[in-house]
Amino acid sequence: MRTAAGPGRVADPVGVRVPDRHLGDLREGVVSTVNGEPGAERVRHHLDGLREREIRIIRCAACGRAQFPPRSACPSCHAPGPFAWERASGQATIWSFCVFHKAYLPPPAPQPPYTVAVVELAEGPRLVTNIVDADPHTLRIGDALEPVFGPGGAPEVRFRPRRADR
């Protein structure tokens, strides 16, 4: 379904009605920003960790469950905190994945074919990310992964098959 451009709306090749202000950011390659975004302060430690080439998650002091993204209450024991930030090992496995064969955004966004996956960290939390440096046809649920951090300290993380498993 394509929609005609109108006040606050633009024709979108995906066929989804989205306010122009959001599409403009996506077309410029901006997926999220820290400043001005609700809850941005909650993930600041995580983003700082990515800049330092580490994955940071929080752990509930009451029950010990690791989680990401941070929540106001633990999803396991419902305690309102306290929570402590910690460095995750970076070890992960593929929990689910799919391969996209259509470009939805211009570069620097991934170009087809690219793999979008839900990866499960060894500590328990699951992240939605990309799998890089791998032939999508060889990937299997449960494959071991290692993190690949953004170039030049960019606060992003993707994963690739663990080198011993290639």
From first to last of its 166 residues, the chain has per-residue pLDDT tens of: 444 555 555 554 555 554 555 455 545 544 444 344 456 777 888 889 999 999 999 999 999 999 998 888 898 999 988 899 999 999 999 999 999 999 999 988 888 999 999 999 999 999 999 999 999 999 999 999 999 998 888 899 999 999 864 4
The total domain count for the chain is 1
Residue 75 lies in a domain: yes
Cα dist from 111 to 65, 103, 118, whole Å: 36, 6, 19
The predicted structure's pLDDT at residue 132: 94
* Preceding peptide of 7 cis, ω within 30°: no
Residue 105 lies in a domain: yes
The predicted structure's pLDDT at residue 4: 52
Residue 153 lies in a domain: yes
Residue 19 lies in a domain: no
CATH code for the domain of 97: 2.40.50.840
Residue 155 lies in a domain: yes
The domain of 104 spans 38-161
Residue 30 lies in a domain: no
**CA–CA distance, 94 with 77 (Å, rounded to integer):** 26
